[in-house]
Amino acid sequence: MNDVASFDHLAPVYAQFPLEVSDAAGVYLHTPDGRKVLDLYGGHAVAALGYGHPRWLEALAAQARALCFQSNAVPLDVRRRAATKLARFCGLGLDTVFFVNSGAEANENALKLACKMTGGTHVVAVEGGFHGRTAAAGAVTWGADKKWYGFARKPFDVTFIKVTDIARLGTIVDDRTAAVIVEPVQGVAGAVDLPKEFLQALRDRCSENGSILIFDEVQCGVGRTGHPFAANMYGITPDIITTAKALGAGFPVSAMLVADHVAARLETNALGTTFGGGPIACALVEAVLDVIESERLLENVRRRSAEIRERCAVGPVVGIQGAGLLLGLRTSHPAKEVQAELLERDILTGTSADPQVLRILAPFVLQSEHVEQLRDALLRISR
Ligand SMILES: Cc1ncc(COP(=O)(O)O)c(C=O)c1O
């Protein structure tokens, strides 16, 4: 039974940070008791522009005043503009965009589309991958079965592979295989940038076999790696990219970008959503991509990432992995302890599935002084 005085009616499904946030500005969170906390976690990689970016606020207010909502049945210029902007930002020829609301929903649609167009009943996923908590996305999430997958049956057969399984791909990806889904830089696993040869082998095998290669860039996409998408960074083009998080930089929106040969199979009623592609979400996608381009934030992400790698392998940090501002700091003692010690020094970071890896998912507007703040705090923590 919950104690009545402390019962707040919220489902008790989240461990809570020992931190109440009242508001935020730039890259700092403010607490009711007057603390100013450097946010290197960005609400699970969402707050890409930090807090209170004027262009984001203006886009939100202007679109809310002009038209708060109309469904996908109504043609909207702002929706067409957002789709064009996103396809051009990606630049890989995945030129058809379907907007939905969350990362899991984007993956659910991508997997459904792959199964429908290939007739396949089998999906290959990668150990360590996280794809969301819905029926299909959860089915391809590593470890979900043991932890929280609640459905009696999965919508398709699933094989999890390791990055060392390249030589076995010829038999694992077979004529039943609708799709291979992979996070090119794994987020929840601890910012693990997968080897290029592995991703290229997936690309080659999918092309050979007619299976759909899905890059789940929900966490690592939209500039997070210092490139438009991790696909651009690796120079490998999948058939579908799913993305979310930084895409709305605080407004819920996700998208699926598909190649022409996949788009050719889309027809009226093949996919659907009520809220996806709403005008406010689309206005924010347009604004976020505008800001990333006009403020040269891809370059900023690459610079800050290099600084963190150069300056922050100190104190309890024994190694740094990942890409851009999706970094994993490997720690000499449990990452949870280092996270708590950093929070005591007013820096918020994340943990990961790897108990020795602390995750940095900082806003793209991070500056050198913030990297120094992290370094100073780490230096004060014993190894
Ligand atoms: C790579 C990846 N895919 C999918 C998801 C699921 O996204 P959502 O929580 O928006 O459904 C996440 C969430 O952390 C993610 O990191």
Q: What is the mean pLDDT of residues 19-25?
A: 97
Return the percent helix, strand and coil in the chain, to nearest 5. Answer: 35, 20, 45
Residue 131 in contact with ligand 1 by CB distance below 6 A: yes
**DSSP output for 77-135:** HHHHHHHHHHHHHH-SS--EEEEESSHHHHHHHHHHHHHHHH---EEEEETT----SSH
Query: Which residue's CA is the nearest one to ligand 1's atom 4?
Result: 131
Residue 102 in contact with ligand 1 by CB distance below 6 A: yes
pTM for the model stands at 0.97
Specify the long-range contacts of residues 197-201, CB closer than 8 Å, at least 24 apart: 197/166, 198/163, 198/166, 199/234, 199/236, 200/234, 200/236, 201/166, 201/169
Q: What is the mean pLDDT of residues 353-370?
A: 98
Closest CA to 156 of 214, 203, 116: 116
Query: Which residue's CA is the nearest one to ligand 1's atom 7?
Result: 103
pLDDT of residue 2 exceeding 80: no
Query: Do the beta carbons of residue 270 and residue 98 sit within 8 Å?
Result: no
Query: Do the beta carbons of residue 229 and residue 215 sit within 8 Å?
Result: yes
Instruction: State the average pLDDT for the chain.
Output: 97
Site to probe by mutation for ligand 1, drawn from 101, 126, 193, 218 as the one with most ligand atoms within 8 Å of Cβ, is: 218
Which contiguous run of DSSP H or E holds residue 288?
A: helix 279-294
Span from the CA of 130 to the centroid of ligand 1 (angstroms): 7
Residue 114 sits at φ, ψ, to 5 deg, of -65, -45
Q: Read off the amino acid at residue 309.
A: R
Residue 138 in contact with ligand 1 by CB distance below 6 A: no
Residue with tokens 């935020």: 24
DSSP 8-state symbol, 327: E
pLDDT of residue 360 exceeding 60: yes
Q: What is the mean pLDDT of residues 339-343?
A: 98
Query: Do the beta carbons of residue 288 and residue 247 sit within 8 Å?
Result: yes
330 C-beta neighbours (distance < 10 Å), count:
18
**In the structure encoding, which two tokens stand for residue 63, read together?**
């679109």
Span from the CA of 166 to the centroid of ligand 1 (angstroms): 26
| Angle 288-275-112 from CA coordinates, rounded to 5° | 95
Span from the CA of 328 to the centroid of ligand 1 (angstroms): 17
Residue 142 in contact with ligand 1 by CB distance below 6 A: no
Nearest-atom index, ligand 1, CA of 101:
10
pLDDT of residue 206 exceeding 90: yes
Rounded to whole angstroms, the Cα distance separating 295 from 204 reads 36
Residue 244 in contact with ligand 1 by CB distance below 6 A: yes
Span from the CA of 106 to the centroid of ligand 1 (angstroms): 9
Residue 141 in contact with ligand 1 by CB distance below 6 A: no
Span from the CA of 102 to the centroid of ligand 1 (angstroms): 7
- Which distant-in-sequence residues (6+ apart) come within 8 Å of 177 by Cβ? 118, 120, 122, 123, 124, 209, 211
Span from the CA of 61 to the centroid of ligand 1 (angstroms): 27
Ordered strands of the 23-25 beta sheet: 23-25, 28-30, 36-39, 347-348
3-state SS of 46-84 is CCCCCECCHHHHHHHHHHHHHCCCCCCCCCCHHHHHHHH
Alpha helices (H) in 122-195, listed in sequence order: 135-139, 144-147, 169-172
Rounded to whole angstroms, the Cα distance separating 328 from 322 reads 6
Span from the CA of 150 to the centroid of ligand 1 (angstroms): 17
Span from the CA of 81 to the centroid of ligand 1 (angstroms): 25
Residue 98 in contact with ligand 1 by CB distance below 6 A: no
Residue 187 in contact with ligand 1 by CB distance below 6 A: yes
Site to probe by mutation for ligand 1, drawn from 224, 245, 352 as the one with most ligand atoms within 8 Å of Cβ, is: 245
pLDDT of residue 53 exceeding 70: yes
Give the per-residue pLDDT at 3: 54
Give the per-residue pLDDT at 1: 44
Query: Do the beta carbons of residue 223 and residue 298 sit within 8 Å?
Result: yes
Closest CA to 358 of 339, 377, 332: 339
Q: Note the pLDDT tens digit of each residue in 97-123.
A: 999 999 999 999 999 999 999 999 999
Q: Note the pLDDT tens digit of each residue in 147-199.
A: 999 999 999 999 999 999 999 999 999 999 999 999 999 999 999 999 999 99
337 C-beta neighbours (distance < 10 Å), count:
14
Residue 216 in contact with ligand 1 by CB distance below 6 A: yes
Rounded to whole angstroms, the Cα distance separating 269 from 217 reads 25
Residue 227 in contact with ligand 1 by CB distance below 6 A: no
